[in-house]
Every structure is written in structure tokens, then in C-alpha cells.
């Protein structure tokens, strides 16, 4: 059976930060294990990160991703020098990866990874997926995994990020570091199950922008005009603005059906733009002509109210079971990088405390990324600007 251990730190020295996390998670005498999943802020050297992990945990497979801050059982940190990890002991998992993925090959690359997982372990029952946060069609990733492994397998995870600039993000597998890679862990411990749910706190405003020309996940025109300029104009940003300027205020909403809106606690699901090339906007999913996109604004009260709601709903669904681990993906735009408005410690405390076991937070690995995967309406779904919780029970 798989066993989970976690730790996090704010440490300038990358190697010392890795050592501290492994010692806190596993003890000073023996930091070896079978799998280490790392999240680290963009200020760390990722080659040093994985090299030191391998030195201290020589038997472990190593996976890593960049982020804009972490959440661990110790709490939240959003500095340029954060490290958090989940260490796992046991053999009931398999890993597949790719060194390059983008919006045009997302289905192909995830289909290849899914086939590798199925060949290695037909009993895989849940997937932890981490892909590049820039230029990726995440709905196609989901479709590829489901086409091979079935819609019944829950996909959870995130997309990597930088410090909200949309400039570069990192992924690592064992001792190799990539800028546009992806990896997936297939868990096959049949004693485990995962429950997922996501929520955001944004409200649609005004009239929608209409996609009038697109190519898969690339929006070329909005309202019959060049897409990026039209988007910036509606945001009130200057023509020389970049993604780092637009991400905090530029969440785009797609309208949900009444049934999904009731479950989600919101009438819209959100999307982020993390790259543009001239006038072309790189959307997080495929975006056909005719799609209506609403601009949105944050609602602080709604963020807290909906967080309390989904935590209560997840606890009710647990039927008294206690979590053995929690994975967590959060949008960096809900953190302090957005105008220093959210009281992040309070939000995280209200998120974590209901899952405590015997007065202690369970092993917890959270990151601030560019996107999140969680079920909605019983289906695997990609989200942006949410808090997404993935609670693992035995």
C-alpha cells in the first residue's frame, strides 16, 4: 500500500531546502523513498533541485514542476524561493512523460503517455497529471487519457507556472528538466480513492466577446477584430501590455448549463491566456468560432463562501473516512500576487482544518499554477482561477 509524507519550506539555498523537506517528511535517519513530487517557485535552480533529491533519495523516481508559491501542511508561502514535496513509499504507481507538449500535439502526447501507463499497469485507477502551463490544450489532454483508460478514471493535477508572467515554466522527470514537458502518475493502489472539487470566486460582467476566428486553441479574432488588441481594449490595458499584465484581471468566462452552474456555485467556468503571439491569443482549451467569452471580476466574499461550501460537501461525501493525503492546485491569481487583497492564510486554514486527522493536517502538497484539473458534473474537467482539492482516502 502507498504511504504519503509531505513537507514545505521557504529556503534560499535550493539544496538545503530539499534536505530540510525530506528530513521533515521522512525523518533524518533515512530519507529514501519510492517517489518524490516537488513543487518549487521559479527562483530555484531546477537541476539542483532534482540532483539533490536524487542524492538524498537514491531509490526514488523524481517529478518536479515550477509554480508561483506552495501550500503544505505547514501553511502557505508565495515567495520566489518556496519548495514543497510529497514523498511516497510503495510500488503501486507508474509514470509516463514527454519532453515536449503544446496546444497542437496535446492529444497525441497524452495518448502516448496513456498507452504507456496502460501497458505498465492495467489496474491504474487514478491519474495525477502535470503539464506545461503555457501553450497547451488541456481539454485534449483529458480526452486522450479517457480514450485509452476510460472516463471512470479521475484525473487530478495542475499546469506549471512562473511568477505570473507567462514567460517560462519548468517540469522535471528524474534528472531531466524541461520547459514544455508533461508527466503523469498512474496510481494503482486499489485501497485508495480520490475525491475532487474546484471553485472560483469571479463574477461575469458586461456583454460577451465573440470568437470570430480561431485555430484549435488559438483565438485569432474577437468581435471580428484582431484578438489580442480587442482583449486588451476591453481590459483597459495599453497596446504594449503583456500576459503578466492581463492575467490578474483578464479571466474569461464560458457560460455553464444551469445544472453545472448549480454544482459549481457559479454560472461560468474560467479560462486564462498565458501566451500571445502578435494578435493571436493562446487559450487553455480548444475554442471554436462562436464561443462567447465574458470578462469577469473577483468577488472576495464569494471566494470564501464557496471554499467553505466545497470543503463541507467533500467532507459529507467522505462518510467519516479520513484522508491519507491531499493534493491541491490553486490559481496564483487568488493569492497575494493579485493586489495583495486575499487574506491567504485565513483561506488556506479554512481549506485545511476540516480535513485534519487527530488534530494534525494530513500530508498536503499544493501549488499556485496556471490551471487545475477536477471533476465537474461527474466528468474530468479543466479549470482556471480556482482552488481545486484532491483528497485521497483509504
* pLDDT tens per residue, range 197-255: 999 999 999 999 999 999 999 999 999 999 999 999 999 999 999 999 999 899 999 99
pLDDT classification of 341: cutoffs 50, 70, 90: very low
| Residue showing cell 539542483 | 48
Question: What separation, in Å, do the N-terminal and C-terminal C-alpha atoms of the chain show?
Answer: 10
> What are the pLDDT digits (tens) for 148-172?
999 999 999 999 999 888 999 999 9
Q: Give the per-residue pLDDT at 334.
A: 63
Residue 319 CB contacts under 8 Å (≥ 6 apart), including other chains: none
> What are the pLDDT digits (tens) for 48-84?
999 999 999 999 999 999 999 999 999 888 888 999 9
Average pLDDT, the chain: 95
Q: Is the pLDDT of residue 147 over 60?
A: yes
What sign does the CA torsion over 347, 389, 308, 139 have? positive
Residue 125 CB contacts under 8 Å (≥ 6 apart), including other chains: 153, 187, 188, 189, 190, 192, 193
> What percent of the chain is predicted at pLDDT more than 90?
90
Pairing assessment for the beta strands 364-369 and 323-331 based on DSSP bridges:
parallel
Please tell me whether residue 248 adopts helix, strand or coil conformation.
coil
Amino acid at each position: 500500500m502507498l504511504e504519503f509524507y509531505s513537507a514545505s519550506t521557504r529556503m534560499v539555498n535550493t539544496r538545503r531546502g530539499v534536505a530540510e523537506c525530506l528530513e521533515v517528511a521522512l525523518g533524518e535517519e533515512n530519507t529514501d523513498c519510492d517517489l518524490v513530487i516537488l513543487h518549487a517557485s521559479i527562483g530555484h535552480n531546477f537541476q539542483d533541485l532534482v540532483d539533490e533529491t536524487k542524492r538524498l533519495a537514491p531509490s526514488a523516481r523524481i517529478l518536479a514542476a515550477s509554480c508561483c508559491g506552495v501550500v503544505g501542511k505547514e501553511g502557505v508561502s508565495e515567495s520566489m524561493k518556496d519548495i514543497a514535496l510529497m514523498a511516497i513509499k510503495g510500488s503501486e504507481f507508474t509514470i509516463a512523460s514527454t519532453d515536449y507538449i503544446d496546444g497542437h500535439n496535446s492529444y497525441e502526447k497524452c495518448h502516448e503517455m496513456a498507452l504507456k501507463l496502460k501497458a505498465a499497469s492495467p489496474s491504474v485507477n487514478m491519474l495525477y497529471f502535470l503539464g506545461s502551463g503555457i501553450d497547451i490544450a488541456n481539454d485534449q489532454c483529458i480526452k486522450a487519457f479517457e480514450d485509452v483508460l476510460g472516463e471512470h478514471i479521475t484525473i487530478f493535477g495542475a499546469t506549471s507556472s512562473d511568477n505570473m508572467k507567462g514567460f517560462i515554466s519548468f517540469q522535471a522527470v528524474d534528472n531531466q528538466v524541461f520547459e514544455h514537458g508533461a508527466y503523469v502518475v498512474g496510481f494503482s493502489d486499489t485501497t485508495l480513492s480520490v475525491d475532487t472539487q474546484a471553485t472560483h470566486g469571479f463574477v461575469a460582467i458586461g456583454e460577451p466577446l465573440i470568437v470570430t476566428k480561431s485555430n484549435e486553441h488559438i483565438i485569432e479574432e474577437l468581435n471580428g477584430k484582431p484578438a489580442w488588441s480587442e482583449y486588451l481594449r476591453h481590459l483597459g490595458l495599453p497596446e504594449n501590455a503583456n500576459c503578466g499584465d492581463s492575467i490578474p484581471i483578464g479571466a474569461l468566462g464560458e457560460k455553464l448549463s444551469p445544472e453545472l452552474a448549480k454544482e459549481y456555485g457559479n454560472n461560468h467556468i474560467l479560462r486564462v491566456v498565458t501566451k500571445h503571439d502578435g494578435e493571436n491569443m493562446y487559450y487553455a482549451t480548444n475554442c471554436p468560432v462562436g464561443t462567447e467569452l465574458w470578462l469577469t471580476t473577483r468577488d472576495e466574499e464569494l471566494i470564501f463562501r464557496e471554499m467553505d461550501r466545497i470543503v463541507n460537501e467533500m467532507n459529507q461525501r467522505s462518510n467519516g473516512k479520513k484522508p491519507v493525503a491531499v493534493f491541491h492546485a490553486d490559481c496564483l491569481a487568488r493569492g497575494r500576487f493579485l493586489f495583495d487583497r486575499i487574506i491567504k492564510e485565513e483561506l488556506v486554514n479554512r481549506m485545511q482544518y476540516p480535513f485534519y486527522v487527530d488534530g494534525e493536517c494530513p500530508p498536503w502538497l499544493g501549488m499556485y499554477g496556471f490551471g487545475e484539473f477536477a471533476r465537474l458534473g461527474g466528468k474530468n474537467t479543466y479549470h482556471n482561477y480556482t482552488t481545486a482539492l484532491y483528497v485521497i482516502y483509504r
